[in-house]
Structures are given as C-alpha cells and as structure tokens.
C-alpha cells in the first residue's frame, strides 16, 4: 500500500463528437504528465459535453468503446493510469461513466448517480442513474469518484465515505455562470468536504460549446477546506498534484493558486471564449456585423476582435436617412480603434424600392412600425448577403433587455448565426463597455487601449429608425427595466412581488405582457453565450401560446 501519490489534473478543452481527436489529445496530455501515477480528465471527455442526442446514436457508443480500448491499451507502457469520462451501455441502458485505465486494460467503471435535469441539463432524457458507487481501489488507495452533479447532493459522497473512500476526485462538465466560483468552492465542495472529512479534487473543462462556456477554475480542497491548488479560469492547464498520507489522512501538498476573474472580466472572457470556439469549430473564416455607432454593436465588435483578431472581423455601416452624423462618426472611430475593416452601404435605394413596391397596398395606411421594421430587415438581408458571398458568419448584436420585450426585429437585426450579447442585459452592456475601454481581456487578441469612443457609452440609446427616436420612447429607462426583467426572468417573480419591491404596477404589468408575447421571436433567435442563471434558450422554455399572466 502506497503512502504517496502524484495525480495529474488535465483541465482541457474538447471537441464534441470527434472521439478520435479527443482520445489523441488525452494521450498527448498523458505523455506530458510523466511522473504521475494517475491522470484525471473531465466528465465525458472522450465524447464531449454536453453530447445531447448524439449519445442516442449506437454508432457513437460503438466508437466510444473502440477509443476507450485504444486508450486502455496505451497504459500498458507503465506510464500514468487514466481516469476517463465516457458512456457505456449495460443491459441495453446508457450510462454516463468514468473508467479507470491501467496496465493495458479497463480495470474499473463507475456510473453517475445524480442526473441533472434542470436549466441547461437534460441528462435524464439520455442516461439512466447508476447505483450508489463504491470507491475505486487504486494501488491500495480507495478513491471515491463522484461525477459532477454527484457532489451537489450529500448522498453519493456520504456513501463513498461510509464505504471507506480516502480521497474524492470529481470530474466535471460545469458551465460558467456569474458567481458560480463561489458556489462551487463554498456551497458545494466545502459542504461535501465538511460532511465527509475527505479531501476533494474538483476538475472542470474549458472552452465553448454552442451556448455554453466552460471556465475551468479547477481546484483541490483539503480536508480542512483549505485550497491546495487553484487552476486558472478560461485556460487549459496540466497540473501534477502531490499527495502524502499523514497520520492516516491523505494530504495534497500546496501548489499554485491562481486568482480567478472578478466581474465583469469573467463575463467578458466568457463572451470571448464562447465566440472564438463557436466560430473556429464551425469553420468560419471570420465574422461580419453591422456597426451602427451604438453601444451594442460596438461591444460586439470589441468581443469579436478579442476572440478572433482584427483581421477576421468585418464591420459594415448601413446608414439610412435617419442615421445621425454622430452615429456615422462613432462607427468609423470604433472601427479605427479596433483596427478592423469598415464599409458603408447605404440602404436608402432599397428603402425607396420597398416604398414603391408596397405603395398601392399600403395606400390607405399611415406609416408606422412596419416601415421601421423594413429598414431593419433590409439591413439583415444585406448583411446575410455579405455572409453568403464571403463566408463570414453574421454576428447579431441585440442584448437581453431588447430580446426580453421584443424590441428587436425578427428577420432583421435578429438575423445571424450567433449573439454574444444574448444573455447580457443593457446595463451589463454598459458595464462591460466601460470595463473594456479601461482594461484588456486576458484572452484578448485586440488592442490595449479604448475600443469605442466615450460618446458611444454616454449618448442615449436609439434604434434610429425614425426622426429623433430614443429607446426610452418605447421602454422604461434601462436602470428601471433591467431589474424588472431580472425579477421576471431569473427569479420568476410575479407582478405583485415586484410592486412590493417598489416598482410601478402598470409598468411591471406591461413589461410582463411584452415578455410573454415576444416568446415567438426568441424561439427564432440565434444561439448566444450563457452568462446568468436563466438564459433564453436552454434554461428558459416557455410555451409560445400562453395566456397566463400574474396580474
């Protein structure tokens, strides 16, 4: 029985569905972990997470088995054993598992017990829950392996402790949300360590996968709840942790403890990494976006440059007769500060063509929102034309406040392939813009100075679809609107509960109505980076046809 262990933690990215590439990467990282007894990989690292309905394809499960055997055979060389997340079918039932590979074989498999089925997670749709797992005996050491959600409740870890586990190693696929670091460390890991008296390894992945972004931030917590290792957020990292048995208790020798991003740097980096991986993994040469001179498009352009570099970002101003000179000047200056390509394509010829084309059927009607939306749709068609012709993905620029109340044009400014601001309220957009003008993203490929003129941040927001238009003509001020929306969306509060917080009853009732009736638009919006606890898409799933109101 050993009294020393070296456990390598592989905080790495993934490629969902590319099993060979994932297996090859694990073998490369294993080679770099020379001297370790065991190398641990994140949850479902072999197939990628979340796999969604891919895991229902028998061909994927067959390939996973093949690649797992290949990984197992590689351990016959006497190097580190591997703890690998994958899927297995047993008696016709699919399980989310970890497999221990050593000495050329699969020597143990443990199944995930707690299957999350809320928010972004649909694991009960895909997997069967495993039994309460026994510890894995590794070189005489009993290691408990609770998989991700297994540590969010006390049952699995309590059982492992009762079965003699000496160390807990938890492979995770835990996506970023604001303030999640504190919940992971204190509310979850700290509670399980206090209950069991066992040290815990928390290993997470990094990288973007559609709407989710994984921030890493893995750590090792001692039995006294001290942090022995804190891995960085947003970056891949391989760390060899050294363990010794002191007076019957396994102890991790302290190592590096990286400082994690605070707000709003964490939100900004989530946007950068999410967009970078989405664009690169889907094979786009770059992005194109409408640069209006407003704050949303300016911030979207800055995130795109930090994600992809200025050479892969193309900005286009699409002025109409309602576009102010300030907006024209601010768009040019944004492009200059970011070092990106800038073109201006006036939409008035197309507007005139539509006016002529529709003149007869619109003859008995006054000009209204229809003509405003036509301008937005002309811009969307133009940008999609550029995207089709040159291959750049169209990046949309709408924020969560607008999407909540339907202050966005379907088939117009909502047209596109991805939205970095989809889960960012307008007040968050202001905060991020101020932060980026004064700071540099740790992941960024963009300039170190300001990325937008100060006037973009300070001028009143406007869609500029009619004379002297301001957002506040149609909506409450954002410092009022956003807390109401947060209460309705994130907290699921009623009108009465928000009125009790001091908000005007009529205003809240109107916003609730707008929120519900805009559901059909949101169903047709592009994916975007999840930032908070209730994003539109995977987290919040409301019926489009819905007569319920709280007032």
Element (H, E) at 337: helix 325-338
Q: For residue 515, which phi and psi values (nearest 5 degrees)?
A: -60, -45
> Quick one: angle between helices 478-489 and 426-438, nearest 10?
120
Predicted confidence at residue 15, as pLDDT, reads 94
The Cα–Cα gap between 161 and 114 comes to: 17
Predicted confidence at residue 1, as pLDDT, reads 60
Return the closest-CA partner of residue 439 out of 270, 431, 428: 431
Query: Count of H helices and E strands in the chain?
Result: 18, 20
Q: Which residues of the chain have pLDDT under 50?
A: none
Predicted confidence at residue 243, as pLDDT, reads 96
pLDDT digits (tens, 9 = 90+) for 56-72: 999 999 999 999 999 99
CA angle 359, 408, 386 (to 5 degrees): 75
Element (H, E) at 333: helix 325-338
Q: Considering the entire predicted model, what is its pTM?
A: 0.93
DSSP states along 258-323: PPPPPTTHHHHHHHHHHHHHHHHHTT-S-EEEE--SSHHHHHHHHHHHHHH-GGGEEEEE---TT-
Handedness of CA 251, 252, 254, 259 (dihedral sign): negative
- In eight-state DSSP terms, residue 256 is -
In contact, 340 and 312? CB cutoff 8 Å:
no
Partners of residue 102 on adjacent β-strands: 105
> CB-based burial of residue 366 (10 Å sphere; 0-12 exposed, 13-18 middle, 19+ buried)?
exposed
In contact, 310 and 444? CB cutoff 8 Å:
no
| List of residues 6+ apart from 321 with CB closer than 8 A | 348
CA angle 335, 338, 342 (to 5 degrees): 25
What are the structural domains of the chain? Answer: 4-251 (3.60.110.10), 265-474 (3.40.50.620)
> CB-based burial of residue 1 (10 Å sphere; 0-12 exposed, 13-18 middle, 19+ buried)?
exposed
Residue 262: CB atoms within 10 Å? 8
Q: The tokens of 16 are what?
A: 């969902």
Scanning the structure block, which residue is given the tokens 């069991």?
A: 196
The Cα–Cα gap between 7 and 69 comes to: 22
The Cα–Cα gap between 234 and 215 comes to: 5
In contact, 498 and 507? CB cutoff 8 Å:
no
Dihedral of CA atoms 418, 422, 424, 425 in degrees, nearest 10, equals 140
The Cα–Cα gap between 526 and 297 comes to: 16
> Quick one: angle between helices 295-308 and 265-281, nearest 10?
60
In contact, 313 and 302? CB cutoff 8 Å:
no
The Cα–Cα gap between 41 and 83 comes to: 6
DSSP states along 357-416: HHTTTTTTS---HHHHHHHHHHHHHHHHHHHHHH-PEEEE---HHHHHHT-S-TTTTT-S
Q: Which residues are catalytic?
A: 43, 112, 148
User: What length does the chain have?
Assistant: 551
Scanning the structure block, which residue is given the tokens 């970056």?
A: 235
The Cα–Cα gap between 236 and 221 comes to: 20
Predicted confidence at residue 494, as pLDDT, reads 93
pLDDT digits (tens, 9 = 90+) for 51-110: 988 999 999 999 999 999 999 999 999 999 999 999 999 889 999 999 999 999 999 999
């Amino acid at each position: 029985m050993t009294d020393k262990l070296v456990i390598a933690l592989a905080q790495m990215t993934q490629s969902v569905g590319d099993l060979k590439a994932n297996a090859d990467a694990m073998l490369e990282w294993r080679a770099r972990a020379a001297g370790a007894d065991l190398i641990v990989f994140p949850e479902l690292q072999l197939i990628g997470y979340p796999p969604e309905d891919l895991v229902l394809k028998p061909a994927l499960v067959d390939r996973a088995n093949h690649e797992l055997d290949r990984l197992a055979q590689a351990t016959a060389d006497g190097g580190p054993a591997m703890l690998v997340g994958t899927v297995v079918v047993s008696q016709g039932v699919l399980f989310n598992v970890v497999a221990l590979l050593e000495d050329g074989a699969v020597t143990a498999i443990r199944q995930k017990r707690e299957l999350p089925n809320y928010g972004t997670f649909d694991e009960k749709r895909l997997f069967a829950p495993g039994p309460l797992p026994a510890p894995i005996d590794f070189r005489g050491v009993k290691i408990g392996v609770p998989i991700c959600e297994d540590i969010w409740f006390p049952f699995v870890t309590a059982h492992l402790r009762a079965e003699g586990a000496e160390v807990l190693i938890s492979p995770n696929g835990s996506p970023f949300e604001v303030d999640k670091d504190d919940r992971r460390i204190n509310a979850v890991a700290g509670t399980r360590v206090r209950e069991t008296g066992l040290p815990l390894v928390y290993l997470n992945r990094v990288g973007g996968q559609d709407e989710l972004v994984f921030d890493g931030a893995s750590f090792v917590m001692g039995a006294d709840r001290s942090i022995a290792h804190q891995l960085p957020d947003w970056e891949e990292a391989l760390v060899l942790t050294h363990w010794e048995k002191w007076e019957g208790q396994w102890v991790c020798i302290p190592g590096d403890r990286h400082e994690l991003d605070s707000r709003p740097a964490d939100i900004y980096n989530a946007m950068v990494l999410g967009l970078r991986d989405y664009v690169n993994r889907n094979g786009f040469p770059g992005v194109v976006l409408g640069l209006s001179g407003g704050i949303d498009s300016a911030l979207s352009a800055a995130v795109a440059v930090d994600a992809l570099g200025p050479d892969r970002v193309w900005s286009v101003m699409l002025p109409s007769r309602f576009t102010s000179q300030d907006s024209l000047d601010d768009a040019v200056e944004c492009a200059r500060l970011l070092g990106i390509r800038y073109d201006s394509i006036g939409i008035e010829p197309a507007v005139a063509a539509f006016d002529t084309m529709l003149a007869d059927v619109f003859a008995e009607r006054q000009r209204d929102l229809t003509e405003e939306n036509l301008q937005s749709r002309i811009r969307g068609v133009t940008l999609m034309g550029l995207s089709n012709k040159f291959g750049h993905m169209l990046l949309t620029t709408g924020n969560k406040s607008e999407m909540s109340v339907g202050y966005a044009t379907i088939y117009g400014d909502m047209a596109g392939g991805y939205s970095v601001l989809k889960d960012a309220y307008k007040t968050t957009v202001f905060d991020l813009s101020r932060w980026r003008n004064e700071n540099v993203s740790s992941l960024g490929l963009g300039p170190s100075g300001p990325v937008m003129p100060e006037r973009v941040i300070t001028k009143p927001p406007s869609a500029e679809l009619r004379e002297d238009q301001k957002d506040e003509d149609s909506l409450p001020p954002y410092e009022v609107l956003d807390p109401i929306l947060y209460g309705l969306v994130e907290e699921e509060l009623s009108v009465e509960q928000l009125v009790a917080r001091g908000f005007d009853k009529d205003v809240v009732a109107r916003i609730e109505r707008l929120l519900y009736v805009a559901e059909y638009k949101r169903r047709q919006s592009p994916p975007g980076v999840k930032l908070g606890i209730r994003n539109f898409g995977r987290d919040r799933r409301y019926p489009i046809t819905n007569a319920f109101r709280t007032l």
